[in-house]
Amino acid sequence: MATTVSNKIKLAILSGGLLSFIGVLVETSMNVTFPTLINELHVSLATVQWLTTGYLLLVTIVMSTTAYVLKRFDAQKIFLFATLVCLIGNILCIFSPNFITLMIGRLLQAISTGLSTPLMFHLIFSSVPTRKLGLYTGFASVIISLAPALGPTYGGVLTSLWSWRSIFIGTVPIIILVGLLGFWSIDQKAGGVNKHSFDYLGVVGLAVVFTLIVLTFNQAGQFGWLSTSFGISALVSIIVTSLFIAYAIKGKRKLIDYSILKYPILRFRLFGYFSLQFINIGLSFILPLYAQTVLHSSAMEAGLMLLPGSLLGAVTGPIAGRIYDRFGPFFPLITSGILMVCGTTMFWLLTDRLSFWLITLIYIMIRVGFNSGFGTSISDGSLQVPLQNKSDQNSLFSMMQQYAGSLGTGISAAVISAVGIMHPHLSAASANIVGTRFSFVLLIVLSVAIILSVITVQARYQQHKNN
């Protein structure tokens, strides 16, 4: 591997990153449009949240195939296909007359994001020298983590000034320009030789498992956590998940080489990566909804409230990457965990007293914490596997990152919706406050678990050093 990164490779990484950025930006832009879409399209919150949950679910499923796809097809072909699908989905959303058409357009865009995000990391891991890995994954984490925070601002401003359809109109010229840039700059060949044929059963099985889990929480949102529907769905999900795990372990075909999970440090980094994104996307759903339902803010105000944190977080990612390159993973990761615990705890303690500016200030803490640990987690995880398993590690991390977002949205929506069902006497604002407080408790638990995982890995490093 070269010791420097050429301008062409930098542009190739930028092209993949921008296409991924567009997908995530539009995804989180839709969160602030939910109250508008509920009224215009005559659907419920449990239904409209599928624009995010369903999108992220399909992104996850597509990402599960990229370990195979990146070995089978040249990077440029993958990129151009992803760009075309994104453009078609965008146009379909612009002219969608109903929820179903809008959903189809979003699912097409999910295919694009599901390919472009792992492609970006593949370009980094295959072209960037190890000594600069933290810096470039730091920039990559900015691209895919800045979008969820800028999305509510972008969507809120356009929805308030014009229409929710303008969210898609505004990205059309960018998609075309990014496509042309990637066509010129991306020239990496297929990443390796496939020892096995494509695991169709593995894809179907993974899709069924992920969908069942999301649907299970959707049942809780529609009928309550104590409902028979939720209980039956949870039982079915456990059984089907157990069967899939058995297939993944014993099956001859491998969608992803799950044997890489035998590396303990990789497992901890994957958990941290998953949890940070769960909190990140969960808050991008919870906070704009709280602002509009409880504080009676406009869509524009709900979006702008998250902007300062987004910008400061963007600066944090590359800085954390440089610190990782020079001093290792512990400091940026423990800083991330501490800030996430402090931020989520403050949200929980002050749930019924939150204001526009208080949310803005606490969210700044959350974004700095998130960007301190997100890129570092995948950087350190990539160093735990041999070269031939890089695409498997990339696919696994990308897949679980997106599924974290799907679960973060789905579970948050279920918690908030279930409060209204179980306590029908509460007003919409009161139900939202109670549901939001429960959601914050879950995010606190995950934040504490992140700190524990960082401390555990550091103890392993220290033990290995002493031996």
Q: What is the DSSP letter of 276?
A: H
Q: What is the pLDDT of residue 293?
A: 85
Cβ atoms within 10 Å of 173's Cβ, excluding its own: 9
Q: Indicate whether 339 pLDDT > 90.
A: yes
Q: Give the domain extent around 26.
A: 7-196+254-466
Q: How far apart are CA 277 and CA 321, in angstroms?
A: 17
Q: How far apart are CA 280 and CA 408, in angstroms?
A: 8
Q: How far apart are CA 34 and CA 293, in angstroms?
A: 11
Is the same domain home to 185 and 224? no
Question: Which amino acid appears at position 67 of this protein?
Answer: A
Is the same domain home to 136 and 208? no
Q: Is residue 121 part of a domain?
A: yes
Is the same domain home to 145 and 239? no
Q: What is the pLDDT of residue 251?
A: 65
**Segment 376-403 mean pLDDT:** 80
Is the same domain home to 87 and 226? no
Is the same domain home to 239 and 321? no
Q: How far apart are CA 383 and CA 4, in angstroms?
A: 19
Is the same domain home to 335 and 188? yes
Is the same domain home to 246 and 258? no
Backbone angles phi, psi at 254, to 5 degrees: -130, 105
Is the same domain home to 366 and 377? yes
CB 15 within 8 A of CB 181: yes
Q: Is residue 40 part of a domain?
A: yes
Q: What is the pLDDT of residue 411?
A: 87
Q: Is residue 2 part of a domain?
A: no
Q: Is residue 310 part of a domain?
A: yes
Count of the separate structural domains present in the chain: 2
Residue 268 — very low, low, confident or very high, per pLDDT cuts 50/70/90? very high
- Which has the higher per-residue pLDDT, 340 or 258? 340
Question: Which amino acid appears at position 400 of this protein?
Answer: M
Q: How far apart are CA 388 and CA 406, in angstroms?
A: 29
- Tens digit of each residue's pLDDT (9 = 90 or more) over 408-461: 888 888 888 888 777 777 777 888 888 899 999 999 999 999 999 999 988 877
- Tens digit of each residue's pLDDT (9 = 90 or more) over 140-170: 777 766 776 677 778 878 887 888 888 899 8
Q: Indicate whether 1 pLDDT > 50.
A: no
- Tens digit of each residue's pLDDT (9 = 90 or more) over 23-52: 888 877 887 787 788 888 887 776 787 887
Question: Which amino acid appears at position 304 of this protein?
Answer: L
Q: What is the DSSP letter of 188?
A: P
CA angle at 389 for the pair 391 and 191, rounded to the nearest 5°: 45
Looking at 253, 279, 295, which one is the last position of a domain?
Answer: 253
Counted residue by residue, the chain has a size of: 467
Least confident of 39-43, 200-204, 351-355, 462-466: 462-466
Q: Is residue 349 part of a domain?
A: yes
Which uninterrupted H or E stretch holds 256?
Answer: none
Q: Is residue 1 part of a domain?
A: no
Task: Name the percent of the chain lying above pLDDT 70.
Answer: 93
Q: What is the pLDDT of residue 149?
A: 64
CATH code, domain carrying 46: 1.20.1250.20
Which residue has tokens 């370990």?
67
Is the same domain home to 138 and 222? no
Q: Residue 128 region, left (φ>0) first, then alpha (ψ -120 to 50), else beta?
A: beta
Is the same domain home to 182 and 240? no
Cβ atoms within 10 Å of 73's Cβ, excluding its own: 16
Q: Indicate whether 462 pLDDT > 60.
A: yes
Is the same domain home to 222 and 148? no
Query: Which residues fall within 8 angstroms of residue 435, CB to CB, at 6 or more apart?
Result: 415, 416, 417, 418, 419, 420
Is the same domain home to 94 and 210? no
Torsion angle defined by CA atoms of residues 21, 27, 28 and 31, in that order, rounded to the nearest 10 degrees:
170
**39 exposed, middle or buried (CB, 10 Å; 0-12, 13-18, 19+)?**
exposed
Q: Is residue 269 part of a domain?
A: yes
Which residue has tokens 């104590």?
226
CA angle at 290 for the pair 284 and 292, rounded to the nearest 5°: 105
Query: Which residues fall within 8 angstroms of residue 221, CB to CB, at 6 or more apart?
Result: 45, 46, 410, 413, 414, 415, 416, 417, 418, 421
Q: How far apart are CA 186 and CA 120, in angstroms?
A: 10
DSSP 121-148: HHHHHHHS-GGGHHHHHHHHHHHHHHHH
Looking at 229, 253, 277, which one is the last position of a domain?
Answer: 253
